[in-house]
Structure 1
Amino acid sequence: MIRETLQFFASLRRTSQFPDPFAFNKLLHHLINTNCGELSLKLLFHFISKGYHPHPSSCNSVVSFLCKLGHLKHAEKLLNAMPRFGCSPDIVTYNSLIDGYCKFRDIRGACLIMRRIRVGECRPDLVTFNVLFHGFCKIGMPKEAFAYMGLMWKCCLPNVVTYSTLIDMCCKMGDLPMGFKVFRDMDENGVSPNLVAFTSLIDGYCKVGDLEVAFKLYEKMIKCSILPNVVTYTALIDGFCKQGMLERAEGLFLKMLEDGVEPNMPVYTSIIDGHFKKGNFDDATKYLSRMHKQGIRFDMAAYGVVVSGLCNSGRLDRAIKVMEDLVKSGWAPDKMVLTTIMNGHFKAGNGKAALDVYREILAKGFESDVVTLSTLMDGLCKHGRLYEARGYFCKEKANEVSYTVLIDGMCKEGNLSEVEGVIREMLEAGFVPDKYVYTSWIAALCKQGKFG
């Protein structure tokens, strides 16, 4: 087809004839769709230079092509030049440009084009607003989105794409009440919610731990004959696992299989992590085996969960074997995995191996963060090496955990003369001592017979 298209254009150039606008437009579309967009651009400008007046759709195709490449200024120049070619830009032209600016996160540019539409002859349509809302959603600009929603009502009615985009934005920004309000408005205005609207809210409520609302939305989704997808199930299963409600999570896993939805890595990771945290080692390994049979390869999050679960179960040797498999699979262990292995060595009573892992963390170019330092300090303190642990304490990186670890170590060493000063320093840094701090302090005072 490309060959025939090129032969057609070659014959036109030889005879100095102009192509039929509709046939020309069809052929330009074909060239762009077959990755010959630059050639379509050259052909359009060749004929225009000879005095040809193209159909607006031909220019629209090229504008859209330029926008996809990110050549937004060139696309806008072509739009501005269209009247000189004997055709005027229509709403499709403007929509392509707005979409281009939004995709490349230039919301200001998109809004300037929108302003041009409003003062020009074109009238913004549903696509215009939906494209703009997607842009606002990507950047996280709810106020601007709802301001344009008011303008939209004057031009056209919002549809399911409009509402689901706004709901998704609200949920991703943590404003669930507003997301739910948009969901209710959608229903009241006679627009049926779609998969995106339901899943966005379900995911949002699962993330904040409100599983009751999330599950009611899931049930309503089923009643509306909308089948949940893997994203919906992942959100719910992860939510129940994080709350320790593994029976509910496994029930959803089975329902997922009944619906013909194939579990993915995040689903398995959530269930495996949930079982490890409950101490259900056999159940965790059962899902690991099932995942392998399904042919799913581990990602870094899954490796982290398995290494952590094995270490916490006292199976350090197996955790190290998993980390070796990680390396063989082409992954490089991240700081979190290495920190977990370091902690596992401390728990196994091997302080030297733990410190070797800490040196490996630094050798790999990772910067010691508060988690790594707190883990290191905790391990050293529990091995009676308070002096070394204090050497790793860093005020600039400290948080509640760091201070708690240090204070607990000092209390266990019976070094109470400085505890009050460290607690005061903790308060000055803006951290509130929790019950573990006071429990350690009280236990140490009691041990020394200081009851008054």
Structure 2
Amino acid sequence: MHLGGHRTDGSSRKRFPFLSRLLRFVFIGKLSQVMYIRVKKLSTRLLNICVASLCKAKQLGKAEAVIVDGVRLGILPDVVTYNTLIDAYCRFVGLDAAYSILYRMKEAGISPDVITYNSLMAGATRKRLLKQSLDLFDYMLREATFNIMINGLCKNGYVDNAFGLFRNVCHAFVPRLMTYNILIDGLCKAGRLHTARGIIKELQESGPEPNAITYNIMLKFYFRSKQYDQGLQLMSEIRSKGFTFDGFAYCTVMSALIKTGRIKEANACAEQMMNNGIELDLVSYNTLMYLYCKECNFGAAFKLLDEIQKGGLECDQYTHTILISGLCKAGHIVEAQQHFNKMNSLGFSNLAALNCLIDGLCKHGRIDQAMELFEAMEIKDSITYTSLVHNLCKARRFLCASKLMLTCFRGGMRVLRCTQRAVLDGLRNSGFRNEARKLQSKIQLARMLN
């Protein structure tokens, strides 16, 4: 069924001038540009505004396309997004189409809420499907209510209460896999990975079979808590059960492997991701860029930049910063500066890249050039000051480091305590004891004020 051919009159444009301008961008294929520019400010909220506007205009096909564009930009839909779609499908297409959205929600790991089921019940009532309305109401009481309660308790830090409620639910009826996944996610967020792993073992022995979402929840938190060995062991278990990873899981695993220095294994993981036909998004490309830079394979890194652009994606500041950081660490300072100039000409935020350049210049003996770049910077942060002060200490330029650190304190920023100690020790050991005492008193004053 073609969903994109309906027309609307001009009344909505008069009433919603912002949305009408936004929709004009959507209709001429410029949505990705709008979302890219405003992603930092609105993110999923902007996505939901677009989807709701298109659904009101009965442009459901375009609403679906907006969601796809959002995912490509790293903006993931939430329960509000899906609820908007469900309500629109109930009104303009049919109940079966609305049910298909419910299944997509579950596959994406998003729990339906009361609004989801209310929309479905309203749709069934409009079609005079009394039995389906009653079935939905019963299902909501049994499924959604407990899920909402368990999820709410976990989010507010009452994990023990959520766990107790879950055990009581088990006595009344057999929970569905979604309920298990909500509890596992809550336990992981509370740092109780061992208990969460026990729940998965229960599922494997007697409950519903765990799915890819179940394992991905555990995998994500193992790597976030730097329990890399457990994460890799779970990854092998997932593979042995025949589950396939999505792009997010592959990127999580690759990042963990790179951080632990297992570059060969990270390469194998990247190769497997591409062989499995996973469509790469910007996060995947950035992870691959990080991998290539770690290997000093800059030919592949620059080739990847071209591939991103040819694929219709827009590189973000992290893509360029990863490349600049890799070039600096490998000693290719001139190439790093050239790419920074290119990045700057494209209008990207450049503070992180500048910090990488300053550190790279210092580490390769160009500290005066780093100082010139520092003086020319309009915006500086604590990382900028800490990096430069640390490198000045390494070059035994303790008086210069002391003055720079005082400037940092006056600006209301902080320098790492280990760097403060390095400056003080350097001044004392170099015979500048009076300067060291003055600096010590100013550090103490700055600590009191902050």
Find 2:267's aligned residue among 247, 250, 256: 250
- 1:341 equivalenced with 2:357 (yes/no): yes
- 1:402 equivalenced with 2:419 (yes/no): yes
Partner residue in 2 for 1:222: 239
Partner residue in 2 for 1:209: 226
| Aligned mates of 2:288, 2:153 — CA distance in 1 | 34
Partner residue in 2 for 1:375: 387
- 5+ residue gaps, structure 1, are 7-30, 38-63, 69-92, 101-120, 431-452
Greater relative CO, 1 or 2 (CA 8 Å, sep 6+): 2
Task: For 1:95, give the aligned amino acid.
Answer: V
| Aligned mates of 1:3, 1:323 — CA distance in 2 | 46
| Aligned mates of 1:237, 1:99 — CA distance in 2 | 41
| Aligned mates of 1:32, 1:355 — CA distance in 2 | 51
CA shift in 2, pair 1:122/1:276, >3 Å: closer
Structure 2-normalised TM-score?
0.60
Task: For 1:346, give the aligned amino acid.
Answer: C
- 5+ residue gaps, structure 2, are 9-51, 59-82, 88-111, 120-137
Partner residue in 1 for 2:16: none
CA shift in 2, pair 1:381/1:33, >3 Å: closer
Task: For 1:339, give the aligned amino acid.
Answer: N
**Offset of residue 224 of structure 1:** 2.4
**Offset of residue 248 of structure 1:** 0.6
Deviation digits for residues 24-56 of structure 1 (CA, Å, limit 9, x no counterpart): xxxxxxx9995279xxxxxxxxxxxxxxxxxxx
- 1:13-162 matched pairs, under 5 angstroms: 34-35=55-56, 95-96=114-115, 124-136=141-153, 141-162=158-179
State the identity %: 19
Find 1:389's aligned residue among 401, 405, 425: 401
| Aligned mates of 1:329, 1:410 — CA distance in 2 | 43
Task: For 1:388, give the aligned amino acid.
Answer: C
**Offset of residue 226 of structure 1:** 1.7
| Aligned mates of 1:248, 1:3 — CA distance in 2 | 49
Partner residue in 1 for 2:213: 196
| Aligned mates of 2:300, 2:5 — CA distance in 1 | 57
Task: For 1:357, give the aligned amino acid.
Answer: L
- 1:299 equivalenced with 2:313 (yes/no): no
| Number of positions where the alignment pairs a residue of Structure 1 with one of Structure 2 | 329
Rg comparison, structure with higher value:
1
Find 1:358's aligned residue among 331, 354, 374: 374
Task: For 2:220, give the aligned amino acid.
Answer: D
Partner residue in 1 for 2:13: none
Partner residue in 2 for 1:290: 304
- 1:437-452 matched pairs, under 5 angstroms: none
The SS at the match of 1:125 is helix
CA shift in 2, pair 1:311/1:94, >3 Å: closer
Q: Structure 1 residues 141-150 or 220-229, which shifts more?
A: 141-150
**Offset of residue 423 of structure 1:** 10
CA shift in 2, pair 1:168/1:293, >3 Å: same
**Offset of residue 249 of structure 1:** 0.6
Deviation digits for residues 161-206 of structure 1 (CA, Å, limit 9, x no counterpart): 1112222233344332232122223223322111111112112222
| Aligned mates of 2:54, 2:318 — CA distance in 1 | 38
| Aligned mates of 1:404, 1:271 — CA distance in 2 | 38
Task: For 2:299, give the aligned amino acid.
Answer: T
The SS at the match of 1:331 is coil
Find 1:259's aligned residue among 276, 287, 295: 276
**Offset of residue 303 of structure 1:** 2.1
Matched-pair contact (CA < 8 Å) for 2:248–2:284: no
Give the root-mean-square deviation of aligned CA atoms.
4.5
**Offset of residue 239 of structure 1:** 0.7
- 1:184 equivalenced with 2:201 (yes/no): yes
Q: Structure 1 residues 384-393 or 134-143, which shifts more?
A: 134-143
Matched-pair contact (CA < 8 Å) for 2:200–2:210: yes
Task: For 1:311, give the aligned amino acid.
Answer: C
Matched-pair contact (CA < 8 Å) for 1:382–1:409: no
Matched-pair contact (CA < 8 Å) for 2:358–2:373: yes
Deviation digits for residues 399-434 of structure 1 (CA, Å, limit 9, x no counterpart): 34323542564377465798899999999x99xxxx
Structure 1-normalised TM-score?
0.60
Task: For 1:344, give the aligned amino acid.
Answer: G
| Aligned mates of 2:250, 2:430 — CA distance in 1 | 49
The SS at the match of 2:166 is helix
CA shift in 2, pair 1:331/1:187, >3 Å: same
